[in-house]
Structure 1
């Protein structure tokens, strides 16, 4: 584990704070891969992880952007400790903290909270036609199509994909196993997001039919999805 970054590297913009209430911190920043250098890890007070030794610069930049921004969010919550990484590649947060990191097309977000509630954050740029076809083929269920129609538009397809990603990130710490996009489908489309319903049981505590609220906001062609699951 590494200490909090005490300085942001130049390829990462100053963080933007979105109000979330007591015990919560949601930060966003932009990053420019063309300006990234491996030396930026040292600037941020972090070591380049061994598992990234053969990764392309884009992957190294994204990882550092997320960890550097996470350090800023933890400091704002007054947290102590370090951000680790589990065997699945997910962040391991300091005691008493839950959170989520997401990247999309030069934008990084970190959502952290104090307490036991698990948080899922996902950023997705508006899908291009090829991505829409892929989402329709591998993400949408027949139940989703009841709400979106036979030929979903880019915004609808992107929103559902992002909502399911946010749900997965919030539920994974609870169920401790991978599950597919077909485990959840739209229960309702709302002005401020979606409600997703489990189509299959994930455990005795999470049977089919459980409904989860996914808050969503669009910003500059990117949908921001948030799912919070109370303890």
Structure 2
């Protein structure tokens, strides 16, 4: 997985700072934005509806929503789907166009999107590296003893390794949700291996989820570091319909 390097057209006004795309399959796109330059009038100016549930939330949340929807619309246009507006189902999951698999994440001033027309289970996540204290406090909830031992052998701070694991499991949850429509706990998947040279990892389900996701199913992931963040992605081809 490469960090996107193809620039999309610039956006005037200072809110969207940059948008970049990587057309390697599956596509990966990122958008940097400046929350300080956000204002509500941009929703009307860009023709993106502001949902009623977001009208009373803090402006930072509205800025994240607008930046993510703007990136989605831009990338869908690159796929030949014009004027697409991403909405949410009652369970808050995104409603993608027919025949399109995608996943979306954001962290502070960065939005990340992955998209494909192939029959993949796709999940993407971006996380700011957590503090050492947070990593230690989350360890029991996030990982089993074998995973903790595995993370401690990696050539990185434990906080970075724990953030990587957290993000990998978030990507896994997002990848499987469109098929399973059920929540997952952190311990229902475990980290099997991490290849830091290739920036790849393998996760294994520790319990069955439907007939097509039995316990022991291996899911392959990739990741990359950008500044003080990690971006992770699960790309899993469905074996059945």
Name the CA distance, whole Å, in 1 between partners of 2:28 and 2:166. 21
Aligned residue for 1:45? 47
SS of the aligned residue for 1:226 comes to: strand
User: Is residue 69–residue 85 contact of structure 2 (8 Å, CA) maintained in 1?
Assistant: no
User: Is residue 26–residue 73 contact of structure 1 (8 Å, CA) maintained in 2?
Assistant: no
* Deviation at residue 227 of structure 1 after TM alignment: 0.6
Matches within 5 A, 1:139-154: 139-149=142-152, 153-154=158-159
TM-score, length of structure 2 as denominator length: 0.86
Name the CA distance, whole Å, in 2 between partners of 1:8 and 1:71. 16
Match of 1:176 among 181, 195, 213: 181
* Deviation at residue 8 of structure 1 after TM alignment: 7.2
Unpaired runs of at least 5, structure 2: 1-10
1:186 is aligned to 2:191:
yes
The 1:87/1:143 distance shift into structure 2, 3 A limit, reads: farther
Name the CA distance, whole Å, in 2 between partners of 1:9 and 1:181. 41
Match of 1:76 among 78, 86, 106: 78
User: Is residue 48–residue 85 contact of structure 2 (8 Å, CA) maintained in 1?
Assistant: no
Q: How many residues align?
A: 223
Instruction: Encode CA deviations 1:98-144: one digit per residue, 9 max, x unaligned.
Output: 10111112111111111331210100111112321233132112231
Greater mean alpha carbon deviation, residues 154-163 or residues 72-81: 72-81
Name the CA distance, whole Å, in 2 between partners of 1:9 and 1:51. 26
Instruction: Encode CA deviations 1:151-178: one digit per residue, 9 max, x unaligned.
Output: x711111110111011111011111111
Match of 2:101 among 98, 101, 106: 98
User: Is residue 111–residue 121 contact of structure 1 (8 Å, CA) maintained in 2?
Assistant: yes
Name the CA distance, whole Å, in 1 between partners of 2:176 and 2:66. 25
Match of 2:110 among 104, 107, 110: 107
Name the CA distance, whole Å, in 1 between partners of 2:67 and 2:137. 27
Name the CA distance, whole Å, in 2 between partners of 1:41 and 1:13. 17
Name the CA distance, whole Å, in 2 between partners of 1:35 and 1:187. 43
* Deviation at residue 9 of structure 1 after TM alignment: 6.2
The 1:220/1:90 distance shift into structure 2, 3 A limit, reads: same
Aligned residue for 1:85? 88
TM-score, length of structure 1 as denominator length: 0.89
